[in-house]
Amino acid sequence: METCSQSGNRDLAEELLGYFVEQGKEKCFAACLFTGYNLIRADVALELA
């Protein structure tokens, strides 16, 4: 998550969120939202949540 956030790649951050949803890892999903808040679009976060 930290590497993804530092990369500045929006698509990568949103793909990582999708991965956590698929795996059922709610805590990782929340941590990814917190870590990559500046990259992840609100509409994508709401859709995946």
Residue 32: what pLDDT? 94
- Quote the tokens at residue 16: 């990582």
Residue 30: what pLDDT? 95
Residue 43: what pLDDT? 95
The model carries a pTM of 0.86
Using one digit for the tens of pLDDT, what is the confidence trace for 1-49? Answer: 899 889 999 999 999 999 999 999 999 999 999 998 899 999 999 999 9
Residue 11: what pLDDT? 93
Amino acid at 4: C
Contact 15, 46 (CB under 8 A): no
**What residues contact residue 12 under an 8 Å CB cut-off, 6+ apart?**
4
Contact 39, 6 (CB under 8 A): no
Residue 14: what pLDDT? 93
